[in-house]
Amino acid sequence: MLRLLNWFTRLALSAAFLSAVADRFGLWGPFGSGPNVSWGDMHHFMIYAAKVNSFLPAKLVPTAGWAATIMELVFGIGLLTGKCTRCFALGSGLLLTMFGVAMAVSFGVKQPLNYSVFSAAAAAFWLAAPRSSRGRN
The Cα–Cα gap between 29 and 117 comes to 24
Q: Is the pLDDT of residue 122 over 50?
A: yes
Encode pLDDT of 24-37 as tens digits: 999 999 999 999 99
Is the pTM of the predicted complex or chain greater than 0.85?
yes
The Cα–Cα gap between 109 and 113 comes to 7
Given a contact cutoff of 8 angstroms between Cβ atoms, the answer to whether 13 and 123 are in contact is yes
C-alpha to C-alpha distances, 10 to 60, 77, 100, nearest whole angstrom: 31, 10, 19
C-alpha to C-alpha distances, 107 to 51, 54, 57, 104, nearest whole angstrom: 8, 9, 17, 5
